[in-house]
Structure 1
Amino acid sequence: MMRSTIRKSKSLATFVVVTSVLITACSDQAPSSTSAPDEITGRWYSEQQVLLGNQIYDANCIDCHNPKARGIFRWNQPLEDGSYPPPPLNGSAHAWHHPISVLLKTINDGGIQMGGKMPPFREVLKDDEKIAVIAYFQSFWNDEIYSRWLQRNQSK
């Protein structure tokens, strides 16, 4: 039973990674460094991507999204100027709902169109650095959230 569940999880993870790559391959936001699911964790990213993502996050994201991608406490309530504060990326807010292609679009284009203040990083970060940042903050997602993300994005 356990092996069957692990096998299904790995198959689902592979499907999601391949689907995400195919979806984004037709755009200018195609990830260049997604990998097959990690044999130990079953997740699409590698330990090296998480380590690189940590460095990129610390240099570019931590000031707004806080350590360990915690975001701001009342992230879903507008500030005095009407904009929204940076959300948590650690699986406790809405970032886990989105496929990699949407997360990349937000990194590339920024969050201003969605009511936030995040600047665009299209010209600041390389594609593999953007993918690594996603790997880094997804590494904080517990197995339940990650599994729900896989299931939710399987059909997209």
Structure 2
Amino acid sequence: MKLKIIALLIVSGVLVAACDQPLDNKTDASKPADRYDRTTVALYRLEQGKALFQKNCAVCHGNDAQGASDWRKRDKDGKFPPPALDGTAHAWHHPQQALMYTIKNGTMAIGGTMPAWRDKLSDEEIESIILWFQAKWPEQLFQAWVKRDQESRKRAR
């Protein structure tokens, strides 16, 4: 019950704040304060991400994004099993753009087994999935990822 009240307060606060802004006021989601503050991620995005992950990704990456236990070892076909996305593998090494690209395009073109999701999931849905599995990462690991992602964005300019 307490969680529902907190969620309601957060959603109410967001709605009130949103109504206070003119419609033509655009925010820059790439600002670190907006993009990387884990405390301001809307609960619905996490819930959406979890539901989408369970429906589309869990069959390979596991219900808790734990991946295959032997994800570092090639299988009989010489391919790597699905890695963990919960912070115990290498997903945190990749900037947001690379995570989005991999989910959209899969890894089959480079010899992997992950299918492309670009025709099944929108960018917003993919971002929600990423937000959900990133919420599982320890804070120190997430902050290391933030630094890598920011550096990647600077290089891309």
TM-score (norm 2): 0.72
Distance, in Å, in 2 between the alignment partners of 1:38 and 1:107 is 20
Q: Highest CA radius of gyration, 1 or 2?
A: 2
| Correspondence for 1:56 among 48, 52, 72 | 52
Tell which has more relative contact order, 1 or 2 (C-alpha 8 A, sep 6+). Answer: 1
Query: How is 1:108-119 mapped onto 2 (pairs within 5 angstroms)?
Result: 108-119=104-115
Residue identity over aligned pairs, in percent, reads 33
Asked whether the equivalents of residues 106 and 117 of structure 2 are also in contact (C-alpha less than 8 Å), the reply is: yes
Q: Deviations over 1:69-127 (max 9, x none)?
A: 00011101110011110000001111011111100100111022343211000001111
User: Which residue matches 2:126?
Assistant: 130
Gaps of 5+ in 2: 1-28, 153-157
Runs of 4+ in structure 1 off by over 4 angstroms are none
2:42 — aligned with what? 46
The match for 1:103 is 99
Match of 1:139 in 2: 135
- 2:34 alignment partner, one of 36, 43, 46: 36
1:80 is paired with a residue whose SS is coil
The reply on whether 1:73 has 2:84 as its aligned counterpart is no
**Counterpart residue identity of residue 75, structure 1:** W
Report if aligned partners of 2:107, 2:115 keep a CA contact under 8 Å in 1.
Answer: yes
Q: Which residue is equivalent to 1:91?
A: 87
1:18 is aligned with what amino acid? Answer: S
RMSD (Å) for aligned C-alpha atoms = 2.2
Unaligned runs of 5+ in 1: 1-16, 21-34
